Amino acid sequence: MKSNYKPLGQYIQKVNVRNTDLKIKNLLGINIDKFFMPSVANVVGTDMSVYKIVRKRQFACNRMHVGRDYRLPVSISDSSEDFLVSPAYDVFEVKDTEELLPEYLMMWFSRKEYDRNAWFYTDADVRGGLNWNAFIEMELPVPHIDKQREIVKEYNVLMDRINSNNQFIQKLEEIAQAIYKHWFVDFEFLNENGKPYKSSGGEMEFDDELEENIPRGWRLTNLYKIIKIFSGFAFPSEVYCSSGEFGLVTIRNVQDGIFIPDCDNYISEAPPRMPEYCILRNGDIIMSLTGNVGRVL
């Protein structure tokens, strides 16, 4: 039902508090996953008094690149410490938290459907900016505040479980790295008798290039000599669709050794000039070359 959908502008208002006294030093940006992160901008010699202050439960967003990135970088502050964002960002807050929970609103911003809708409202600029008026005219469902609290509570329970799983995954990653070092740096992989190779008297020989001893029969070589490396394919944006036979893998799908299977864009059929290797198969290795450079999965 659309009866309880209301324009966003009915519930939010802009905030424009500047760092005039230069008391705040922490500068953050917003990543593509809608989280605040330390800014990589070079601010040497920059007038930090014009930067905007974000306080707890306030939002910041960058409306300039929605058409290019197919999503609106927007995030809510859950920090008790104030911080800065670029003067090019919008900072806003919920007018009345008894009508709309900021956390509920952030859940709405996080939906893929919201990003698709935001992209639809972008202008004709090459980067595809989202006009403020278009932004606040976009509608969202606003149930009773008690229902919002219930939804947010259930969401937080799920997020706590996800965070616990991520912590467990991090521990497993640390164990994997320790095993890798033990085997391939300390050369204590198990020999045919199940004993640590080097400390059990495994044969070693000196490598002139590495200037150290390595297991006999091992060699130092270039990666391109043992694997085939191919470049991706530049798909024209006019062939994109919301569903189709092929999902398009982008930088966003490559995250620190994890493949994110969800795709933002699809194509109905492979272009005639697309190489066969661009159809990914089980066991293929992907490496990003822009944005999050060097991530491999």
Looking at the chain, the whole-number percentage of residues with pLDDT higher than 90 is 58
Average pLDDT over residues 45-74: 92
Closest CA to 237 of 275, 265, 262: 265
Predicted pLDDT of residue 220? 86
Q: Is the pLDDT of residue 111 over 80?
A: yes
| Residue-range domain boundaries for the chain | 5-142, 143-177, 186-220, 223-297
Looking at the chain, the whole-number percentage of residues with pLDDT higher than 70 is 94
Average pLDDT across the chain, whole number? 89
Q: Is the pLDDT of residue 238 over 80?
A: no
Q: Is the pLDDT of residue 40 over 60?
A: yes
Which of the four pLDDT bands, split at 50, 70 and 90, describes residue 148? very high
Predicted pLDDT of residue 291? 57
Q: Contacts for 151-155 with beta carbons within 8 Å, 24 or more apart?
A: 151/104, 151/107, 152/101, 152/103, 152/104, 152/107, 155/103, 155/107
Q: How far apart are CA 81 and CA 123, in angstroms?
A: 35
Residue 60, SS3 per DSSP: strand
What superfamily in CATH does domain 5-142 come from?
DNA methylase specificity domains (3.90.220.20)
